[in-house]
Structure 1
């Protein structure tokens, strides 16, 4: 295939990602988005609302546990539709949950005390669902921007990877990343994981190019992509030790100067820090120092007063003031990891801070990803074992000669070492950098085996092309339910919730629009709903909706309709301390309909 044709194929693949991402979330009825596509997921509410808040105020009190880059990008289109920003008043004092638990609020305003204390959930409600704002357009354009930038970064992976591994490997990588329900599900919502993972991979590719041949352009591109990755998600900090140790192994293997390498890496790290400080400056320049200290007192661990003292010194300088908030965000993330605040369902049981055990991520990897991708992994491993078994020493040298392979192996090992030993387990998306790194290594193996033969008869490229086609067919037939997708090993999308829920299946009400349409189409006058998530149900269901919990109120009158999310349904039925009349399992013979993939509707007999 000619070079121009390969570039054209890359553009086609990226366009497929963009279109599937857009239409799976927005649907096709853009004139009435209230009933079209996917409702806002749990994490999107604070992310969308915070991004617009940053740009408009120059403050970063809200959602500081995630860096602002992706939220900023999501907010860019909102500058053109100019939604109303709720007033933040220091003259009133509101309570946490005033617009969340008691929605709708009496007034769509916000108070200074809640801003300082990072009440991102109430802020999300009063901004997105403000009476003067079009909530559907805010969500649509925020997602549109994220999908567009993700598509652009996917193409950049193809572009830079082709410079180190060639065009065919780069195209195969794009196929593996694009023909993936998992990628499209998380790459088309305003969440951190997908874009931050793309940026981490871009950073490592450019660093590998820099290691292979030290050039100014690759030094600058490494600064850019490392900085963007670290401004996308705090867990991206792991790529700093990954790059250092992976690069050090390569430098030692090539018998190059270790001292020179350490100096250059130090310059790279300093440059990245400067970029982060400048970027954060534009998000903190309007933050009052006394209010920022109050904010730190609220967010920092109380048993480490030295942290507050250190950050209080940093905020005295306008540039290091931004770094102080960046460090605060890092501490918030690691504090959460340490205590593992969660409630997760996995394989028939609910788990809290103790976690579900080391099998959580391996099981989800084998059941949430496309079977075609899993089979390519297995084929690659089999041929790798055969090759290494015959020429172990020479193959090790081949790995050591490739800086990118080294870096990808190191990031896989380091991420797995941290995630498999951690009790925080709230979705396969949290090992997305590992999945992307495996995708690149799989693409490299597939390319190496492209013209080989299986049993001396079948060219392997035809096997690979068949698996690519199978992945595409699976992608089309599972549209638009990419969040809930499970492969055959996991019981398929219909039964995948029996493995794990949360962002793996039921991400806080993504099917509410479909429920609202069903209620409207069937002229349902009243429906009881039990569901967690960011969606303001009354905005979609109006007066027909009544908040409900069977554990407190028992069954309503005969003939009543009850809608419950899969997550709530499982949690209720697995509680051992509840009597039978407080469980939804008593309605299993009165099941009416499954809305989308994540909402069950029953009718009381």
Structure 2
């Protein structure tokens, strides 16, 4: 029997095809693994930057209220502190603290009888109860850092689904190395929690709309509840989701060729169905809110909760019980002019029953946010001090605090997006309706993000509450993802292959070169962006881009949580030890305690109207730049600064903007010769 040495060409071809497919499959796995390794490196680097910055900083202003509040929730199941913010971030921050042997001032007046005595309780707990303040602050900040890492991870996950695993790294890097996110991502405040909550809520809502299952509906409801437990501004999700289901309903009803009545009927049918789903999402979400609020309000005495609620909400009405639909009494026929009165009465009524008191505390927080949002706050912007706000506040602050490379990427994407939009309107052959519905069918997630960005920015610009760039932080991840989607399309070039060899070769080289140039621009900008994060370290909160002169000059344009939140007090303590300063006057803004960090024998609380401390034998004065700008700036319309508060005595002997020493970025020290 002879054995043939000939190879079957067909079998060889099949074998090579199998090898080729297996090779491609293995390469894709390897490429995917590399992407996840890069993601892990990004997460680790971001965490390292945050924690090392945190260890060098003292407590910032809002942490003085949030840390003791969270500890009270977790340790004592009592929600008497800080009701104006939802509890989830504070709970997560307090969990590491309950495993430590800490003394909490439950016998103090601030806890026992004061109405929302959060600031004094915080000062007593962190600095005056025998606890190590640095340990408390550092452990509490691990919670927000964890939330920041989760946010970065989900930005990668959603980006991967929308624009592919390779391009998903771009918005991930922009999120992970944003100076704004690196700063507020390690503080015990609600801003990073709000960003994560809104992101999860929109992510899982879109996922449910595109893949309707009971599982996705449940997760969408839970995500909505998480958002509401992070920050009350997440309530803006409600009109957003309502708008999105209207748009999606019309898309589903009008996308096909059919009589108008038939299309309208299909749209209404889809809308009715989606409204039912949306109500279910809200029910699940608020059930989660109730589940979280229930245990942490159980030890809040009912009588005190009712008294506190009435006292806090007195600004809504001086006549409790005058609502047209007064639940606490029989039906009342008096028509109420103040629309908030009904909610106020409802809130007070709910405090009287153990089953409703958790929702009473939640509603109290919502009403307190409405109070504050309408009242504004004192702030400094471009040389002016005002408590009524500026409509251009957030555009200016964003332009000065966002790194220039990301501004350029966003600007390129915005120009490309607008160009394509107007081109489609004026030059496309198909109907505008058809093009819009085609866009919705292919880019519903992107449309949802854009809608949220527009809604939130419009609300923020209109609001007199100008509290810093952190207020628009929830829009940043969406801006990065949408911009990346547009940039990806910008770099993509195809050409038609014709019969001419040299023409095809030329077009291939030209297209490759064009794509390479665009990719090089993006890579250079991303490298610059990452470098900016390391330049900002460890003063992330004070970061300003080169347009504003960098992190040491941003105070000239805007202060408060954009620049000075009290983070440099520990550095001032180190300074007076190194300089061997025996006594120093301090006008400090922040959540630290000057006596704890500087020493009771060294620090003297001071302010402008007390005059020159030199006359009391004190040769140095340290002033937080936030306090300084709020009195040296020009008062806006209707705002007055008392003459004795303007540091006139200091400006006569010193240039206030040229201190003898600058501590960190925010505390100016003057030697009084």
TM-score, normalised via structure 2 length:
0.81
- In 1, Cα distance between equivalents of 2:643 and 2:353: 56
Q: What CA deviation, in whole Å up to 9, does each residue of 1:480-523 have, x standing for no partner?
A: 0110000011221111101100000011x211111111110111
Q: Give the structure with higher Rg (CA).
A: 2
- Does the 8 Å CA contact 1:344/1:502 hold for their aligned counterparts? yes
Does residue 83 of structure 1 match 2:112?
no
Give runs of aligned pairs for residues 269-348 of structure 1, distance below 5 A. 269-300=282-313, 301-303=316-318, 305=320, 306=323, 307-340=343-376, 342-348=377-383
- Does the 8 Å CA contact 1:168/1:447 hold for their aligned counterparts? no
2:540 is paired with a residue whose SS is coil
- In 1, Cα distance between equivalents of 2:609 and 2:382: 23
* Per-residue deviation, 1:448: 2.4
Deviates more, 1:123-132 or 1:593-602: 123-132
Q: Mind listing any 5+ residue stretches in structure 2 that lack a counterpart?
A: 1-27, 254-266, 324-342, 426-431, 494-510, 634-640
Q: 1:383 to 1:569 in 2, by over 3 A?
A: same
1:518 equivalent among 569, 575, 578: 575
Q: What CA deviation, in whole Å up to 9, does each residue of 1:463-488 have, x standing for no partner?
A: 11111100011111221011000001
Does residue 214 of structure 1 match 2:224?
no
- In 2, Cα distance between equivalents of 1:82 and 1:244: 48
* Per-residue deviation, 1:179: 1.8
- In 2, Cα distance between equivalents of 1:164 and 1:581: 58
* Per-residue deviation, 1:571: 2.9
* Per-residue deviation, 1:278: 1.3
- In 2, Cα distance between equivalents of 1:205 and 1:304: 43
- Does the 8 Å CA contact 1:192/1:233 hold for their aligned counterparts? yes
Deviates more, 1:229-238 or 1:160-169: 160-169
| 1:152 corresponding residue in structure 2 | 150
Q: 1:24 to 1:282 in 2, by over 3 A?
A: same
- Does the 8 Å CA contact 1:368/1:486 hold for their aligned counterparts? yes
| 1:501 corresponding residue in structure 2 | 559
Does residue 377 of structure 1 match 2:410?
yes
2:44 is paired with a residue whose SS is helix
* Per-residue deviation, 1:226: 1.0
- In 1, Cα distance between equivalents of 2:293 and 2:642: 48
| 1:258 corresponding residue in structure 2 | 271
| 1:98 corresponding residue in structure 2 | none
| 2:112 corresponding residue in structure 1 | 112
- Does the 8 Å CA contact 1:211/1:403 hold for their aligned counterparts? no
Q: 1:81 to 1:492 in 2, by over 3 A?
A: same
- In 2, Cα distance between equivalents of 1:5 and 1:251: 40
* Per-residue deviation, 1:169: 4.0
| 1:181 corresponding residue in structure 2 | 179
2:306 is paired with a residue whose SS is helix
Q: Mind listing any 5+ residue stretches in structure 1 that lack a counterpart?
A: 27-36, 95-109
| 1:101 corresponding residue in structure 2 | none
- Does the 8 Å CA contact 2:564/2:626 hold for their aligned counterparts? yes
Does residue 604 of structure 1 match 2:661?
no
| 2:37 corresponding residue in structure 1 | 8
Q: 1:488 to 1:111 in 2, by over 3 A?
A: closer
Q: What CA deviation, in whole Å up to 9, does each residue of 1:323-363 have, x standing for no partner?
A: 111011100110111122x21010011112x21x2111111
1:571 equivalent among 630, 633, 636: 630
Deviates more, 1:402-411 or 1:15-24: 402-411
- In 1, Cα distance between equivalents of 2:489 and 2:355: 48
| 1:104 corresponding residue in structure 2 | none
1:474 equivalent among 515, 532, 551: 532
Does residue 387 of structure 1 match 2:445?
no
- In 2, Cα distance between equivalents of 1:216 and 1:170: 28
| 1:582 corresponding residue in structure 2 | 649
TM-score, normalised via structure 1 length:
0.89
* Per-residue deviation, 1:581: 4.4
* Per-residue deviation, 1:45: 1.0
Deviates more, 1:180-189 or 1:317-326: 317-326
Does residue 349 of structure 1 match 2:388?
no
Q: What CA deviation, in whole Å up to 9, does each residue of 1:379-414 have, x standing for no partner?
A: 111222332233344764454222212221221222
* Per-residue deviation, 1:247: 2.7
1:600 is paired with a residue whose SS is strand
2:604 is paired with a residue whose SS is strand
Give runs of aligned pairs for residues 547-562 of structure 1, distance below 5 A. 547-557=605-615, 560-562=619-621
Q: 1:454 to 1:562 in 2, by over 3 A?
A: farther
- In 2, Cα distance between equivalents of 1:87 and 1:432: 35
- Does the 8 Å CA contact 2:217/2:277 hold for their aligned counterparts? no
| 2:506 corresponding residue in structure 1 | none
- Does the 8 Å CA contact 2:58/2:591 hold for their aligned counterparts? no
State the number of aligned residues.
570
2:548 equivalent among 478, 490, 497: 490
- In 2, Cα distance between equivalents of 1:359 and 1:599: 27
- In 2, Cα distance between equivalents of 1:380 and 1:270: 38
Q: What CA deviation, in whole Å up to 9, does each residue of 1:262-304 have, x standing for no partner?
A: 1111111111111111111111122222222111111113346
- Does the 8 Å CA contact 1:531/1:568 hold for their aligned counterparts? yes
* Per-residue deviation, 1:444: 1.7
- In 1, Cα distance between equivalents of 2:104 and 2:136: 12
- Does the 8 Å CA contact 1:388/1:395 hold for their aligned counterparts? no
- In 2, Cα distance between equivalents of 1:585 and 1:351: 25
- In 1, Cα distance between equivalents of 2:408 and 2:652: 38
1:254 is paired with a residue whose SS is helix
- In 2, Cα distance between equivalents of 1:478 and 1:581: 33
Deviates more, 1:444-453 or 1:470-479: 444-453
| 1:30 corresponding residue in structure 2 | none
| 1:430 corresponding residue in structure 2 | 471
* Per-residue deviation, 1:59: 1.4
